[in-house]
Amino acid sequence: MSPDRHAGRQVFRGLTKGLLGHVFGPDAQRKSDLLKKLADAEEKHDFYTTLYRQYSINLLKLVIYVRTLVTNDHVAAFLRESHPDILVTFQEIVTNAEG
């Protein structure tokens, strides 16, 4: 093999290695970055799952409490006379919860 062809291959290998290293990055660093992103995504998922679960529980408690108020004759009469808009809102909450 001539020295020129050998030098050309060395340059090509060097360029290829440099390009691949630039595109894919060092394996250890890339793996570390991906693991960090995965951990962050799992942490956010856990946070929002817990938040959603708590909101759902609070809404169920609200429906039970509002249904108790609306079905109580004395409370319903008071709301009808003093705060009819609140009574309507409470009734809508109960109706929407029942489907």
pLDDT in tens, 1-58: 555 555 555 555 555 555 555 555 568 888 889 999 999 999 999 999 999 999 999 9
DSSP class of residue 83?
Answer: -
Of 9, 26, 30, the residue nearest 18 (C-alpha): 26
Q: How far, in Å, CA of 17 to CA of 62, rounded?
A: 63
Judge if pTM exceeds 0.85.
Answer: no
Q: What is the pLDDT of residue 29?
A: 85
Q: The domain containing residue 41 runs over which residues?
A: 3-98
Number of domains in the chain: 1
Q: What is the pLDDT of residue 19?
A: 52
DSSP class of residue 72?
Answer: -
Q: How far, in Å, CA of 56 to CA of 62, rounded?
A: 10
Amino acid letter, residue 58: N
80: pLDDT strictly greater than 90? yes
> What does the pLDDT average to over 66-81?
95
* Residue 54 or residue 98, greater confidence: 54
Q: What is the pLDDT of residue 32?
A: 87
Q: How far, in Å, CA of 96 to CA of 9, rounded?
A: 74
